[in-house]
Amino acid sequence: MKEYKSAPYIELEDYKAPKGINSVFIPMNDNKKLRLIYWINFIDDNKKKGTVLLQQGHNEFIEKYYETIQELLNRGFNVICFDWRGQGLSEKMIDDNHKQYIEDFNIHDCDLDFIINEIIIKNFTQPLIGIGHSMGGHILLSSKSLIKEKFKAVILSAPMLGFSYEKLLFALSSITGIFSNKESYFPGSKPNMGNETAFEDNELTNDRTRYTRTQKLVRKLPIVRLWGVTNSWVNAVKKNLIKIRQETWLRSIQTRILIINPLEDKVVNPKKTIQIANKLPFCKIININGVKHEILMEKDKFRKIFWEHFDDFLSDLKIL
């Protein structure tokens, strides 16, 4: 791989990055820089399983997934991740670093395409497996790279494919431009202004230890976490959901997909996920009870369910 400027990353006393971490800034075509972190697996070539691109959800960052990354390394994969532009330690799109802002999700798609074509394909062993959580799953499902079959298989965790009150949400998004500008916080989104949400009030996980661990990472470098979403971001999500839901788009996807769908999810709408999964020609969906939005940050018994389905899915494809 060519030389890139090194990028910082966060560790805790009791939560270190997996060995072999490489953290760099990658300039995109518009010169915005994305933070990309990767691990090369140095096991014997005949034991290597390929490369996993692990992509996070809205307002997440790579360090949150060290535990998952180590589990992928243990399975024989190289692992590569990048912070979506506008969040984590990738470059922001507007001057206010606290706001989630994008004008069109096609920008994320172009970034993803660039990383796959210029970084992964040129430097990492195949096959390429995609894992996308929440917004990351949304972007993978709408990406040109998926349609072009750059992935051998894709696993989506609680993909952001719909919301419980989206009719009201999207109606409101259509009129926000009249009363406020596109960089303003979206009405009703309840920006936290940097304040933590207590574990008892969180909608992400039932596991206190993992939830607290993420809080500690944010305390160490607060800029890694955003405060809320903008009018522009909500409108971009709306536009991209319309694209994803078109039957012609869904039917054109020939890649094998596994969806892990937490039925008690309050962040995204699991019913919408089921509707979309049923229109994908090569999709298997696993509906799970008792799990909140983030199964990879859940209690061990739930994470075990994820890994069992992950291993079975890739074994069926002769990858594991």
Euclidean distance between CA atoms 122 and 319, whole angstroms? 20
The number of helix segments (H) and strand segments (E) in the chain equals: 11, 10
- Report pLDDT digits (tens) over 66-111: 999 999 999 999 999 999 999 999 999 999 999 999 999 999 999 9
Residues of 146-171 as b/e, b for ≥16 C-beta within 10 angstroms? beeebbbbbbbbbbbbbbeebeebbe
Return the pLDDT at 47: 79
Domains and CATH numbers, the chain: 22-316 (3.40.50.1820)
> Is pLDDT at 177 greater than 70 in this prediction?
no
Write the burial class of residue 60 (CB in 10 Å: 0-12 exposed, 13-18 middle, 19+ buried): buried
Phi, psi for 6 (deg, rounded to 5): -70, 150
Average pLDDT, the chain: 95
Closest Cα to residue 106, out of 98, 118, 114?
114
> Is pLDDT at 221 greater than 90 in this prediction?
yes
> Is pLDDT at 178 greater than 80 in this prediction?
no
Residue appearing with tokens 């992928």? 72
Return the pLDDT at 248: 96
Residue 218 CB neighbour total at 10 angstroms: 17
> Is pLDDT at 25 greater than 90 in this prediction?
yes
Return the pLDDT at 143: 97
Euclidean distance between CA atoms 151 and 255, whole angstroms? 7
> Is pLDDT at 176 greater than 90 in this prediction?
no
> Is pLDDT at 45 greater than 80 in this prediction?
no
Best-predicted range by mean pLDDT (18-22, 45-49, 163-167): 18-22
Q: What is the pTM of this model?
A: 0.96
Confidence at 187, pLDDT banded by 50, 70, 90? confident
Q: What percent of the chain has pLDDT over 90?
A: 90
**Residue 8's Cα: distance from chain center in Å?**
20
- Report pLDDT digits (tens) over 140-163: 999 999 999 999 999 999 999 999
Write the burial class of residue 125 (CB in 10 Å: 0-12 exposed, 13-18 middle, 19+ buried): middle
Return the pLDDT at 188: 75
Q: What percent of the chain has pLDDT over 70?
A: 99
Residue appearing with tokens 């994969």? 77
